[in-house]
Structure formats: C-alpha cells, structure tokens
Amino acid sequence: ADQARQADFDAKVAANQRIEPRDWMPEGYRKTLVRQVAQHAHSEIIGMQPEGDWIASAPSLRRKAILLAKVQDEAGHGLYLYAAAETLGIDRAELTERLIEGRQKYSSIFNYPSLTYADVGVIGWLVDGAAICNQVPLCRTSFGPYARAMVRICKEESFHQRQGYELLMRMMEGTEGQRAMVQDAVDRWWWPSLMMFGPPDADSPNTQQSLEWGIKIDTNDALRQKFVDMTVPQADKLGVTLPDSELAWNEQSGQYDFGEPDWNEFKQVVTGSGPRNAERVARRRAAHEKGAWVREAATAYAKKHQNSQEVA
C-alpha cells in the first residue's frame, strides 16, 4: 500500500500538481517542509525588528504610515506561514518554542543592525528584492498551502520593494549627507543580501532532494545570480556603487560576474554569533512571555464560548 501511495505522490509531483494536507506524503517531505516553512515564518516575525526600530522616529508622517503598513504586513506573512505549517500537523506554539530556544533558524539577514533611516530603504530595495526573487518561484512549490500563501505574500512584497526604492530615490535627490547615508547602507547590506539565498549549491545539503520533491524550484546559486542581474541596473539608476570590485558584465554568459560572499561570516551568523542574534531572539522571547496572558484569556474565552454553544 505504501508503494502505491508513494507512486501516487511521485506522479503528482512530476505532473506539477499540488500535494494537499490530507494527501499521503513521505515523512522526509513533511519534515523538510516544516523546517522551511517554519524558518520562513520565523524570518517574517523576526524581520519586523530591524525596521520596527525606526517606526517611532520616522522622518515624516507619510514615511511612518508606510513603514507601519509594511511591518504589519510582515506580521501577517508570518501568520499565513505558521498556518501553512500547521496543516502539516505541527502546532504554532511548538514552532515558537523552537524559535526562542534557538532550535530553529530564521534568515541570517535579520541579524544585522539598521543604523539609519537609509537602512529602511535599503531593506525594502535589497532584502525585499531578494525575498521576491526567492519567493516568486515558490508560488509553484508542490505543497498547496505554502504555494497559496506565497501568492499573496509576493504581491505585498512588491509594494515593500517599491517603497524602499522610492525612499532611496528621494534621499538621493537630497543633500550630500543623505546620499552618503544611502551609500553606507548599501555597503553594509549588499553582501548579507546575497547570503539570504543560502550556501553555494555545492555546500547546500537540502537543495537536491528539495528540487526532486518540487519544494524548491531553483537552486540557491541560480536565484542569487538572478538577483544580481536584476539589481545592478537598479543600483546604476539610483546612483550608488555596489561594494564588489569583481562585479562586471559578462558578454559571453549574458550575466553579471560577481565576487564571493564571506561564507565564514554567514556560518557565524547562522549559528547564532551575528551582530544582533542574541538581541533578536531575546526580544522575541520577551514579547512571547509578555503575551502569555492574552493567549490564556483567548483560550479561556474560546472554551467558555464552546461550552455555551454545547448547552444551546
């Protein structure tokens, strides 16, 4: 029976059909998805922090309204993704425990500090730009709930990317000091943005199997290249320099050549020793603990409501 179910699963994946929560799936497929979707959800929630730091000191009412909307969207993305993970049979409370105990990862990018308001623009431009590059193909990922969550998330990420680029365009029209702030933010965020796509294909233990299962659609290196090709013309238009002396158009390949990110730094950040890891997780833990009474009250209310329905 298992063989028949496996064959059915393989045929669905090969035909680009969606696997749904009630369908049979190999245990490894379920585990890989829980890992990736949870990591993605955690990234959205932890990712609220670097930009959230600027809400109280946004330079104008307009910028504050935009930033508030963006950070709220990220909370929403986290929630869709936790809901998608729950269809795989894992509880959101358990996933949160794993995050605050450091047993599950979130994107390396959110372990860097946001030092000026230009960082808000650069996070929108580069970090959301990289997120879109990675996530548009995931709209076709093989697990239905994850794919459907991605469709909506990508639409919102496009707005996020645009607001970042628009903010930077405005700053580049400003004073010398403002232009220098933009360049400084680009210098700090460029390499970490390239690391968002994960280790080089040769050092990526999960890629091959995830491609076979249709969980991933492209390899880490392929998406990184696509991001560089997309971003270089935008940097030119903006008038900033990307901090990579090896960056050059390659006539033969029809792509940009670029330098190697510092994979040692990546390892440090992913294993908890980046510039802001401790602070990000400590804040998430504090928010979780502070919210305990809300969860308790909501649970008690739901229980009471359920009982009164039973009586009626």
Residues 6 or more apart in contact with residue 120 via CB below 8 angstroms = 51, 54, 63, 67, 114, 164, 167
What is the phi/psi pair of residue 257, to 5°? -85, 145
Shortest Å distance, C-beta 39 to ligand FAQ: 5
Q: Where are the alpha helices (DSSP H) in the chain?
A: 2-14, 27-46, 48-52, 61-86, 92-100, 117-122, 128-138, 144-172, 176-195, 207-212, 220-238, 263-268, 277-290, 292-311
The vertex-216 CA angle with 158 and 8, nearest 5°, equals 125
Shortest Å distance, C-beta 298 to ligand FAQ: 26
* 3-class secondary-structure state, position 50: helix
Shortest Å distance, C-beta 61 to ligand FAQ: 22
Q: Tell me the window of 20-28, 92-100, 201-209, 300-308 that interacts with ligand FAQ (CB under 6 A).
A: 201-209
| Cβ contact 121:185 at 8 Å | yes
> Which amino acid is residue 136, in one-letter code?
V
Shortest Å distance, C-beta 51 to ligand FAQ: 6
Which residue among 12, 18, 35, 285 contacts ligand FAQ (CB under 6 A)? 35
Q: Tell me the window of 196-204, 239-247, 285-293, 295-303 that interacts with ligand FAQ (CB under 6 A).
A: 196-204
Residue 133 found at the interface with ligand FAQ (CB under 6 A)? no
In whole angstroms, give the CA distance from residue 102 to residue 138: 26
The residue written with tokens 């730009």 in the block is 129
Complex with ligand FAQ: residue 96 or 207, whichever CB lies closer: 207
> Tokens for 234?
């935008």
Per-residue contact track with ligand FAQ, 219 to 248, x per CB under 6 A? -x----------------------------
Which residue among 89, 177, 205, 254 contacts ligand FAQ (CB under 6 A)? 205
Residue 131 found at the interface with ligand FAQ (CB under 6 A)? yes
Shortest Å distance, C-beta 3 to ligand FAQ: 27
| Cβ contact 227:132 at 8 Å | no
Residue 185 found at the interface with ligand FAQ (CB under 6 A)? no
Which residue among 168, 270, 274, 280 contacts ligand FAQ (CB under 6 A)? 270
Cα dihedral: 157, 161, 167, 172 (round 10)? 170
The residues in 71-130 that bind ligand FAQ, with binding defined as CB under 6 A, are 74, 105, 107-108, 123, 127-128
Complex with ligand FAQ: residue 165 or 179, whichever CB lies closer: 165
Complex with ligand FAQ: residue 29 or 179, whichever CB lies closer: 29
Distance of CA 103 to the CA centre of its chain: 18
Q: Binding residues for ligand FAQ, per CB under 6 A?
A: 35-36, 39-40, 43-44, 47, 74, 105, 107-108, 123, 127-128, 131, 134, 195-199, 204-207, 210, 216, 220, 270
